[in-house]
Amino acid sequence: MRRAAAFALCSALMAAWSWGKASISAQAGESCTAGMVMPVQGSEIVARFDGPYQAWMAGHRGIDIRAQKGDELIAPATGIISHAGTVAGKSTVSIRVRSFTLTFEPAQTALPVGTPVLRGKPFAKVAGGSDHCNDACVHWSIKRGKGAYEDPERWLTPQSIRLVPVA
């Protein structure tokens, strides 16, 4: 029973990956564990996702990961640099992974927009001067298309563990 449920959720995860128009060959070949890797090696989540029920409501549209200025950021998934620069006075770097946009703040990279990044490889460094994290963490968000923000932790954790109800 538990295995069957896990398999179903696994399929759902793959369906999410195939949402984009691009081929899913890279991820489809991987085991059905975590879809993405932690962007700061050996770190931990210090503030969880708190998605609002409506887009205009307050919330925390990402997770905060303990990090120091200068720490290396690791690409959670294979994609391309889709933004690198300053937004509203904050240094941010974004990676597009199929229809998802992964954004890190504060972050800086020397890589120009359009550069491919590989899952597990460094692509940027944690910057300073964020009022969000008080220079003690990096904020990571995942946006699906032009729509809602998703909980990055969902992609880090095997869904079979978090979402299978206890029967």
Instruction: Give the integer Cα–Cα distance in Å for 94 and 59.
Output: 20
The two tokens of residue 72 are 């290396």
Among 27, 64, 81, 149, binds Zn ion (CB under 5 A): 64
Q: Backbone phi, then psi, for 52, in 5-degree steps?
A: -75, 155
Cβ 64 to Zn ion shortest distance, Å:
4
**Site for Zn ion contains 143 (CB under 5 A):** no
Task: Closer to Zn ion by CB, 9 or 107: give it.
Answer: 107
Q: Which stretch binds Zn ion (CB under 5 A): 18-26, 31-39, 62-70, 114-122?
A: 62-70
Cβ 6 to Zn ion shortest distance, Å:
30
**Site for Zn ion contains 61 (CB under 5 A):** no
- Check residue 51 and report its DSSP letter: -
Cβ 46 to Zn ion shortest distance, Å:
9
58 and 25 in contact (C-beta within 8 Å)? no
Cβ 51 to Zn ion shortest distance, Å:
12
**Site for Zn ion contains 139 (CB under 5 A):** yes
Instruction: Give the integer Cα–Cα distance in Å for 120 and 137.
Output: 19
Task: Closer to Zn ion by CB, 123 or 140: give it.
Answer: 140
Q: Is the peptide bond before 76 cis (omega within 30 degrees of 0)?
A: no
The two tokens of residue 93 are 């770097």
137 and 46 in contact (C-beta within 8 Å)? yes
Q: Which residues bind Zn ion (CB under 5 A)?
A: 62, 64, 139
